[in-house]
């Protein structure tokens, strides 16, 4: 049974469907940059209440505009994806930062990653004290010799000048109620619910960022695909940047984000064709579901999923489109 990401009544049982037509947006000539945001894949949007829809739409728009403002002023793709994801981490509707899903023990263990097209990367898993895990992941990339840190201490985050909070900051009443329902039903929670962003800046540089609270009622210490470079997050200049959401274990086994890059690099596929092939072979054919946002080096944006829905925001050349 899959729970509504707001913590409301459980949604209907989710099934893996055939991939929906992939949305492909070419970079308009008057916009030398591109940005796409996702707020998680999962149940059917038609099942959301009006308030849920409005809340998710507002959250996606706010996040998109935060990143767009960076790019419009000539900022970097890395700054843009981080600004975008911070907005979603601070919005309790989404499964990242405050309001994230809870482990079986009732705690929030947060994962995040960032990667630039030049090959720099940083990630954190089971973070419990940094208010914005995506910024901690960026600090790992920029201020350490490592790529992935597990359960980094508050002292490290504070030393790097990041905002540190009590772990209870992340826990909301809606998520407590969700966990109580899952405990009563003796079942696991939704395998979807991750936020992320990809960007190409005016210089042509690419970046991706992903952040999540994981699965509701997951075992303590479980880590999904989001902080695994090449699984849920990947970027390479002259190819693509991609951020994924969905059944994390399947994305890890299929090395999904890198598989898309490999199809482009070695098989010569364009971004849309590579995304469609990877989703079909590594998700649909393996009875797993999810989605992603990606941007190619030429600014082409692709939004795709085989789950019933994907919360996303992107610019179609005329306006910002949300809630696909």
Residue 324 annotated among the catalytic residues of the structure = no
Tokens of 226: 């989001």
**pLDDT, position 45:** 61
Cα–Cα nearest to 14, from 308, 313, 319: 308
Beta-carbon contacts of residue 155 (< 8 Å; ≥ 6 apart): none
Annotated binding-site ranges for substrate: 222-225, 245-248
| Residue-level pLDDT at 23 | 87
Residue 13 CB burial class (10 angstroms; 0-12, 13-18, ≥19):
exposed
Position 3 pLDDT exceeds 70: no
Q: What is the pLDDT of residue 1?
A: 25
Q: What is the mean pLDDT of residues 293-316?
A: 94
Question: How far is residue 213's CA from residue 176's CA, in Å, rounded to a whole number?
Answer: 14
State the burial class of residue 319 (Cβ atoms within 10 Å of its Cβ: 0-12, 13-18, 19+).
exposed
Q: State mean pLDDT over 151-165.
A: 97
CA pair distance 301, 265, nearest whole angstrom: 17
Q: What is the CATH number of the domain that holds 277?
A: 3.60.20.30
**Cβ 74 vs Cβ 202: under 8 Å:** yes
Tokens of 300: 């082409």
In a domain, 296, yes or no: yes
Whether 189 has a pLDDT exceeding 90, the answer reads no
Binding residues: 222-225, 245-248
* Average pLDDT rounded to a whole number, residues 175-183: 93
What is the reported pLDDT for 245?
Answer: 96
Which DSSP symbol is given to 7? S
Q: List the one residue out of 307, 292, 322, 280 whose CA is nearest residue 43.
A: 307
Q: What is the rounded average pLDDT of the residues 290-301?
A: 96
Within-domain flag for 93 = yes
First to last CA, the chain: 22
Per-residue pLDDT at 27: 76
**The predicted structure's pLDDT at residue 10:** 33
pLDDT-derived band of residue 43, with 50, 70 and 90 as boundaries?
A: low
Catalytic residue among 6, 194, 212, 324: 194
* pLDDT tens string 44-77: 665 566 678 889 999 999 999 999 999 999 999 9
Least confident segment among 41-55, 115-129, 157-171, 179-193: 41-55
Q: What is the pLDDT of residues 221-280, one digit of tens each?
A: 999 999 999 999 999 999 999 999 999 999 999 999 999 999 999 999 999 999 999 999
> Does residue 124 form part of some domain?
yes
- The Cα–Cα gap between 251 and 247 comes to 7
- Contact of 127 with 111, CB cutoff 8 Å: yes
Number of domains present in the structure of the chain: 1
Q: Rounded distance, CA 18 to CA 41, Å?
A: 14
Quick one: angle between helices 256-267 and 271-278, nearest 10? 130
Residue 324: its pLDDT value, please? 63
3-state helix, strand, coil in the chain (%, to 5): 35, 25, 40
Q: Residue 6: is its pLDDT beyond 60? A: no
Mean pLDDT of the chain: 90
Q: Put residue 185 in one of left, alpha, beta given phi > 0 → left and psi -120 to 50 → alpha.
A: alpha
Report yes or no on 254 lying in a domain: yes
Cα 276–chain centre separation: 18
**Domain, as residue range, for 260:** 23-322
Structure confidence at residue 46 (pLDDT): 55
**Phi and psi for 106 in degrees, rounded to 5?**
90, 15
**H helix intervals, the chain:** 50-72, 77-89, 133-143, 154-159, 173-185, 248-253, 256-267, 271-278
The pLDDT score that the predictor gives to residue 5 is 38
Pair of tokens at residue 141: 């990339």
pLDDT above 60 (res 316): yes
216 lies in some domain: yes
In a domain, 14, yes or no: no
Q: Whole-prediction pTM value?
A: 0.92
Task: Report the C-alpha gap between 143 and 80 in whole angstroms.
Answer: 19
Residue found by looking up tokens 């359960």 in the block: 151
- Return d(Cα 170, Cα 317) in angstroms, integer: 36
Pairwise CA distance, residues 276 & 20, whole Å: 9
> What is the per-residue pLDDT for 7?
39
In a domain, 18, yes or no: no
User: Residue 216: pLDDT above 90?
Assistant: yes
């Amino acid at each position: 049974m899959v729970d509504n990401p707001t913590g409301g009544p459980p949604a209907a049982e989710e099934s893996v469907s055939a991939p929906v037509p992939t949305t492909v947006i070419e970079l308009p000539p008057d916009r030398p940059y591109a940005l796409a945001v996702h707020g998680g894949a999962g149940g059917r949007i038609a099942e959301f209440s009006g308030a849920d829809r409005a809340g998710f739409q507002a959250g996606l728009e706010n996040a998109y505009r935060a990143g767009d403002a960076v790019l419009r002023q000539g900022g970097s793709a890395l700054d843009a994806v981080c600004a975008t994801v911070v907005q979603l981490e601070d919005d309790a509707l989404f499964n990242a930062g405050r309001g994230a899903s809870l482990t079986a023990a009732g705690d929030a263990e947060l994962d995040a990653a960032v990667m630039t097209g030049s090959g720099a990367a940083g990630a954190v898993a089971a973070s419990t004290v940094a208010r914005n895990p995506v910024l901690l992941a960026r600090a790992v990339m920029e201020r350490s010799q490592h790529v992935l840190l597990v359960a980094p201490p508050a002292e490290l985050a504070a030393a790097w000048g990041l905002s540190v909070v009590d772990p209870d900051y992340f826990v909301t009443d809606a998520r407590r109620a969700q966990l109580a329902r899952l405990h009563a039903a003796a079942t696991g929670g939704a395998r979807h619910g991750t936020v992320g962003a990809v960007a190409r800046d005016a210089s042509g540089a690419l970046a991706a960022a992903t952040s999540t609270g994981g699965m509701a009622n997951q075992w303590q210490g479980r880590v999904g695909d989001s902080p695994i470079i090449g699984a849920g997050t990947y970027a390479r200049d002259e190819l693509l940047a991609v951020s994924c959401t969905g059944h994390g274990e399947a994305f890890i086994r299929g090395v999904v984000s890198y598989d898309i890059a490999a199809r482009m690099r070695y098989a010569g596929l364009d971004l849309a064709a590579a995304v469609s092939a990877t989703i079909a072979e590594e998700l649909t054919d393996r009875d797993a579901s999810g989605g992603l946002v990606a941007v190619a080096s030429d600014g082409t944006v692709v939004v795709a999923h085989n789950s019933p829905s994907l919360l996303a925001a992107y610019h179609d050349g005329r306006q910002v489109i949300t809630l696909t």
